[in-house]
Structure 1
């Protein structure tokens, strides 16, 4: 008898899991409490997969042999708790997909820099002529890539929510970039619980695998004392020389594992100190994979920045407009402000996730000449930065925000959209917010 696979959530990961489940001989049922996008509905119908939308029918869910849950469904939700009580296994789409491929997996997690680092590694491996797919939290779902399983390598961006529900997921190279407060509302407001979920990326690794981690991140190094991993540990640091790792030495970055590779940091395509750190992680992974040194150097030089992440849009009237819409938390915005070399008009705001803006104050004093708030409720931002800049204004639309920022800017200045908040008060998602920013800049 066919095993029944129930998928909760009909977004990118859910539909990918449904397609893979069907291919692997499961009886698949997909359930989404919301309305499905047209493209996903069509995919399910074309593949003869049973589904429901705008409801969850208990009788069709609780007879499952295995449940795959969307990363967006909180693990504390009543439905998930009931499944656990009934001892029905619940896993993530990342876990499920990993069971059906023998390809080598390079998995990237962290609070910030995941998309950039994943894209950079994919770029290096592609330039090296390797047969490589990219997915997870970026682009296509891992499960959909595995349906045809035509790749020898997968580079995956993975969130803490995806890692919460892994059981045997085992990357060949696991990369942990940083751990800073984010999504704490889902982890009882305890940083250590959030950090532990990030560390699940390495828990199934063996001594033949590699765990690449940021030695400069205190949360990581402290937890490494408690959490046992069998993997070969390869640290990278901007502050300390490392014998078996990667470190910065003046203008150079030295990759010291498994053999020596010297890189000129001033030639890196990505801007900002935090991106030197991300580039170190990517170069370390590439060196472990024994990619030719010249290919690594060339790839780091000609990489194009990820859309919505410190993306230079246009220069108008001598003012550079920069789209960093993907900065949905304070730490990401910290990195963005830190990388600014021109007087900056900062567009900030959106749905607050329990943000503490205090760490941004020194950078605002040093780099920011005006603040444009963009959100339905800007009270926390107004209170945090009151008196620190000459001009601060509230706006409720992207058009007003961009026009106000242009008014405050002058030749040689920069306008930076780096919201430090989620986008859901005024926009569909951070991509929509970034696209609207670019459109309004072009309309100036």
Structure 2
């Protein structure tokens, strides 16, 4: 006996659930067949949506009253088979289109619903014809349609989806390279069932994403300061003018392996760029000849002028997360690309420009509570030269408290050229990555 509660509450709810499942299956199949016209679901991946829709449809079909004969169970079984194949198409020797598989599953579930509602039906013929028609249609259609580029239903990429789902959402904003990142994760996870490997990769990627996001936040704090010096920056921009890298043969076009390869003071592009900025304060760079070049007043002003312009015009772009290691951009290439990159690219360009006008530079890396960082420094020399440097720096930036690392000797003071000249944004446990070699 059917109770009043079942008639008034349970069965209507099951019908709504079943219809919702069928509509969801239909939409996902159309999304895979016509992705440009049917966007993806905001909260679910296609595989998750298809699985949810199939469960809703099957539960509704099984629990609703009706004519549960052979045609019903054949249609239900064929539909579930299509859904399973759509979720794991890589297990078949034939290339079957996931969208067609889902559409056929939707049609099979609809046929099961129809057979349960119709009292008079040639059920044997129905049970034979429906599977044959659907199998032939899916097979033929899969070869006529272009190969699906959607990675969602590839069983071997289940681990990729799991890793992406666990990543800090900032990677979509900071990096903007989900497809490239997916390929990188797939290459790293050769054994998709190795949970420990997967967890380690998630931890590694999240750490790097957090470092990039924190670095970007530190850089953005400098932008407010640069507004105060827009007139000086505009004057420097006029000196740069419409500088364009016309001789592409002088610009590095290959990826370099080390940071020392990226420092290119002898490149004509770097030399011209540095000289134009330094010309805002013309004069001899060094305060004496011989030995290491200790910058005089004009040299210090030239260093600060170069830093001010580069910091003001810099566009922060994160390294590719899929590069595996830091991606070092050669200094001349950074200029050709319009002053873009991350902290180590910023440091490489500054070190290159300092050397290009006769100075000595080094690049250090350090750590802080929110990750790692790299920055450049310019050699100053003695404590007397340092005191003069502090005085000139405060003329450029009134009231600034200028810091330095403990010198290795009496004549080993260096000026920090982090995002803000003289201020360390992330300088704990400093280590040396590069230093100008030889005497001048």
How does the TM-score come out when normalised to structure 1?
Answer: 0.22
Task: Kindly indicate which of the two structures has a greater share of residues assigned to helix.
Answer: 2
Task: Kindly indicate which of the two structures has a greater share of residues assigned to strand.
Answer: 1
